[in-house]
Structure 1
Amino acid sequence: MEDILFCQSCGMPLNAEKLKGTENNGIKSNDYCKYCYVNSDFKNPEMNLDDMKNVVKMYMEKRKLPSYMIQKAVNILPALKRWKSKQQ
């Protein structure tokens, strides 16, 4: 069984190539999704962890996912690469 990669910004599963963001050279990123990362840059560089928590929560609520899943997704965000490096 293959390990599933997750976006290291929003936590979305990267289980399809079309979901992966891109580097400057066009190569797909194994770290970030296309909604967070394009051409080696974050789409919203000014976004902070609290902003991302709100975005993830809103998106998951819109999809009518159970509250325990939403809470779990929000709780893992601080451990992701993008946010871990910004914590003191």
Structure 2
Amino acid sequence: MNIYSYCQSCGMPLNNEDVKGTERNGLKNDDYCKYCYENNDFKNPEINLEEMQLKVKNKMEKMNQPSYLIQKAINILPTLKRWNNKH
């Protein structure tokens, strides 16, 4: 069984270097994916938790993921680092 880390913003598996976000110096970030984080900044800094949940839901539905997996992904989001550091 492979154990991956997950983006601490959207929950996407960070199962290879290609999907990891980057720091200013170009090094890969182990906490965030390239869709959420680039050049040491969040790509969408104004997004809130509810908007991220909707974004993840819509993306997973387009990928024809089963509804139980979509719900699980949405439920995990509030536990991730980005959303725990907000307020």
TM-score, normalised on structure 1?
A: 0.95
Unaligned runs of 5+ in 2: none
Instruction: State, as a whole percentage, how many aligned pairs show the same letter.
Output: 64
Instruction: Write the distance in 1 (CA, Å) between the matches of 2:49 and 2:34.
Output: 18
User: What is the number of residues matched between the two proteins?
Assistant: 87
Tell me, yes or no, if structure 1 residue 80 matches structure 2 residue 55.
Answer: no
Match of 2:38 in 1: 38
> CA RMSD for the aligned pairs?
1.1
Instruction: Write the distance in 1 (CA, Å) between the matches of 2:85 and 2:15.
Output: 25
Unaligned runs of 5+ in 1: none
TM-score, normalised on structure 2?
A: 0.96
Instruction: Write the distance in 1 (CA, Å) between the matches of 2:4 and 2:24.
Output: 24
